Structures are given as structure tokens and as C-alpha cells.
Amino acid sequence: MTLNCRGQLLDLSRPRVMGILNLTPDSFYDGGWLETPDQALRQAEEMLEAGATLLDVGGASSRPGASTVETQEEIRRTAPVIARLRRYFPDAILSVDTWRAEVAQAALDAGVSMLNDISAGRLDSTLYPWLQNLPQKNLPYILMHMQGQPQNMQLDPHYQDIVTEVLDFFIDEIKKLHTLGINDILLDPGFGFGKTIAHNYALLKNLSVFETVTAKPVLVGISRKSMICKVLNVNPENALNGTTAAHMLALQQGARILRVHDVKAAIETIKIWEQWSLAT
């Protein structure tokens, strides 16, 4: 379980934490928090000091019903911050959260070493060709499942068998990516992206299936999401305890990366899980 992140090896033999850096005014939890590059830099420093291995930088919200951000605005939000992060934190693994090839290229030029795409190439027909034309195939790709699009994905999500359908999707997309020369792939079941609460918990309960069948590591993004808030009847601001509980379940099902808002809590969860794993 080692990924080549543009020459930097990421060892996933133990779980890692990816800190979320949202450079957007309308994200569901932390929108508008990081209004300047200096604020983003300080947030990144805090996350790395707390134990994050990766930072995921996003310039366009993908929450349900989110409005579309123009390409150049997304680049304006992300590329300068990524360049500063690369300069100040050269050992951090930086990811860009985008579905656009043009934004991905700008982020690559600025210094990212991973691509996090919610759409599996479906929202920008040029993204997969862009991946194919990369001169070096050492940009790990986070492959996420989503039913519908952010504008409509939560209107009426339905499946015959959520786990089987998401697994089949992963198998098909992994084959496509392999033909493009992309072999370092992380799987994200897409919690909250076209799923009901029942769908989300079915995926969480059967998470280990995805790595077992595909031999690809699984990334989990459930931090403060509605699948936690609705069960506990809390808002995202009060969902850290529920998030920690869900993270423990994900670790027990083999999650390799936790994508989180709260790095310290996630690191502590991993430490407790590791101690539990060693017990006889």
C-alpha cells in the first residue's frame, strides 16, 4: 500500500489523515473561514503540526445544491495557495479537489501531488484525456462515486444494492484508468453524494469489500456530514463526537485515509484504533 505522489512515496500500511482546506465561501461547514492566503497557510500549519500527512485544497463547494464556480475563479482561489503551501511545507502531500482538467493543470503547476475528483471524469470530458497525456504517471487519483451531480444528487437517490453497485462502478472505472496509465488509485465511496442515510451506513458497514475486491486503498470523507448530523439531530458545528465514532467504524473496516476537518481528533482516533488492533 504505497503510492507514488510525484516522486514522494506515501506509505498506507497505517492509516493517514488528510486535512481539508476549503477556500470557498459556501462549504457546508467551514465556508468562508479561509478568506486570505495567510489564513490558509496558518490552517495548514496547524493541521500538519497536529499530524496530517496530506492536505486537500478545494476552491469550489460540492455540497448538495451548491452553485457552479467559474473555472478561472476556482484557479484564482486555489493555485496561489497551493504554491505557497508547497514553498512553506515541502514535505506535505498536497491534493487538489477539482473535477476540471484546467484547474488540475494549474494546481499541478503550483505543486500538488494528488488529484481528488468527485466526478470520475463525468463533469469534464477533457479530464480523463488530460490524465492520459500526463508525461509522468505519478499523480495518484482519488476515484469517487457520485449518483447525479451536486445540484441534484440528493433529490431522489436510489439503488437496488448500494454496495454492489458502487463496487461495480469502481471495477469499471479502475479498468478505464489503468488504460490511461493511471495505476495509483484511491477509492472514495462518496458518502453523501447521491445517497440516503441508509445508503451511507450500508457503505460504511461494508467498506472493507472495496479494498478486498479491487486491491485499492479506501479514503473516507464523512467529517461532520449530514449522515452524522441527521442521526444525532445536531448541526455540523456539533458533529465532532459523531464524526469520531464514525471514523472508528471506518478504521475497523479498513479505511486507509480519513479526510477530515479536525485533524487532532482523527489522529487520536487512529492511535486508539491501533492500540485496540494490537490487543490480544
- pLDDT of residue 38 exceeding 90, the answer is no
- The answer to whether residue 264 sits within a structural domain is yes
Backbone torsions φ then ψ of 202, nearest 5 degrees: -65, -40
- The answer to whether residue 4 sits within a structural domain is no
Looking at residue 61, what is its pLDDT? 81
pLDDT class of 151 with cuts at 50, 70, 90: low
- The answer to whether residue 151 sits within a structural domain is yes
pLDDT class of 66 with cuts at 50, 70, 90: low
Domain of residue 113: give its range: 16-278
pLDDT 10s digits, 74-88:
999 999 999 999 999
Mean pLDDT estimate for the chain: 93
Higher per-residue confidence, 31 vs 184: 184
Looking at residue 65, what is its pLDDT? 63
- The answer to whether residue 109 sits within a structural domain is yes
- The answer to whether residue 195 sits within a structural domain is yes
Looking at residue 26, what is its pLDDT? 54
Listed in sequence order, the residues at least 6 apart from 247 whose beta carbon sits closer than 8 Å to its beta carbon are 220, 222, 255, 258, 260, 266, 269
pLDDT class of 221 with cuts at 50, 70, 90: very high
User: Per-residue pLDDT averaged across 15-42, rounded?
Assistant: 77
Give the C-alpha separation, 46 to 43, whole Å: 5
- pLDDT of residue 30 exceeding 60, the answer is no
pLDDT class of 126 with cuts at 50, 70, 90: very high
User: Per-residue pLDDT averaged across 176-194, rounded?
Assistant: 96
Looking at residue 104, what is its pLDDT? 98
- The answer to whether residue 74 sits within a structural domain is yes
pLDDT class of 39 with cuts at 50, 70, 90: confident
- pLDDT of residue 156 exceeding 60, the answer is yes
Give the catalytic positions in this structure. 225, 259
CATH number at residue 126: 3.20.20.20
C-beta of residue 98 within 8 angstroms of C-beta of residue 59: yes
| pTM (predicted TM-score) | 0.93
Backbone torsions φ then ψ of 156, nearest 5 degrees: -160, 65
Give the C-alpha separation, 10 to 174, whole Å: 20
pLDDT class of 33 with cuts at 50, 70, 90: low
Provide the domain count of the chain: 1
- The answer to whether residue 11 sits within a structural domain is no
- The answer to whether residue 44 sits within a structural domain is yes
